[in-house]
Structure 1
Amino acid sequence: MSKRFRRHPELKRLEGGWRRPKTRTNKVRRKLKGKKPMPSQGYGTPKSLKHKHPSGLTEVIVSNPKELENIKKDEQCVRISGSVGSKKRMEIIKRASELGIKVLNPNVRVVKNVAPSEKK
């Protein structure tokens, strides 16, 4: 849930996640004026914006360079999977730049070349 909907007895020791108020006398459940809002229909994201990146493109998770061939660069952008190693990550970034596809996480875990004399 977003920060708009907070748990009713909001104390430091309680988790921040939403819990539906259930008791008979609860003011939030009864939707009294001046109390916190409860999630309900109408607060949702419009269907045209659901599951989209803020840039307006749909995210696609990619784990190898072959998967870039099916990407529509006008409608989709790429996020490289976290299980991909540095070598294959560099290949994916290079191929995506050739095809003109936007990569959302290009700089994650890129390792610099280290000279053999610096290694122990």
Structure 2
Amino acid sequence: MSDFKRLMRLKLKMKQKRPEFKRQDSHRTARIGTSWRRPFGKHSGMRIGLKHRAAVVKIGYRCPALVRNLHPSGLEDVLVNNVKEISALNPETQAARIASTVGKRKRIEMIKKANELNIRILNISKQKQEELLQ
């Protein structure tokens, strides 16, 4: 098994084990959102790292550097806004994600170009692509 595949598998396992990091005391009041903020406070059990408290973001949860920021398919996820940007992609290492601001007409042109160059589009299924091209 190649080293890349092993690291991708490791990334998936690490992601499954990684806890959901929530803001301290977000469960108490609605006005405090759940989005992560580092716990401060002299007597904060979460900051100290007590066992029964929620998990705190630490460097040990990070995935291997070689596969960081890659799509689960192993391709680099690139946001594209026009046909010119699709032409610049490398089909072996990169995949396109069409921006949400792109309209239907340009989207169809981009799908046609991507199919010509054998570039994978991540945010449109094959069935949806076929529907748009008809």
Q: Normalized against structure 1, the TM-score is what?
A: 0.77
Alignment equivalent of 1:61, drawn from 79, 96, 119:
79
Higher helix share: 2
Larger radius of gyration: 1
Q: 1:67-78 to 2 correspondence within 5 Å? A: 67-78=85-96
Change (3 A) 1:18 1:62: closer
Q: Structure 1 runs of 4+ off > 3 angstroms? A: none
- Where does residue 118 of structure 1 map in the other structure? none
- Where does residue 48 of structure 1 map in the other structure? 66
- Where does residue 100 of structure 1 map in the other structure? 118
1:59 counterpart SS class: strand
CA distance in 2, matches of 1:95, 1:46: 33
Change (3 A) 1:78 1:38: same
Aligned residues of 2:80 and 2:97 also touching (Cα < 8 A): yes
Percentage identity across paired residues of the two chains: 35
The CA deviation at 1:74 is 0.8
- Where does residue 117 of structure 1 map in the other structure? none
2:108 counterpart SS class: helix
In the comparison of the two structures, how many residue pairs are matched?
A: 111
Q: Which moved further from structure 2: 82-91 or 63-72?
A: 63-72
Give per-residue Cα distances to partners, 1:69-105, cap 9 Å, x unaligned: 2211110001112222211110110111111110112
Q: Normalized against structure 2, the TM-score is what?
A: 0.70
Q: Gapped runs of 5+ residues in structure 1?
A: 114-120
Q: 1:1-120 to 2 correspondence within 5 Å? A: 4-9=20-25, 10-13=27-30, 14-106=32-124, 107=128
CA distance in 2, matches of 1:69, 1:96: 8
The CA deviation at 1:33 is 2.2
Higher RCO, Cα 8 Å, sep 6+? 2
Which residue type is aligned with residue 29 of structure 1? R
Q: Gapped runs of 5+ residues in structure 2?
A: 1-17
Give per-residue Cα distances to partners, 1:11-38, cap 9 Å, x unaligned: 2512111222222111111112222221
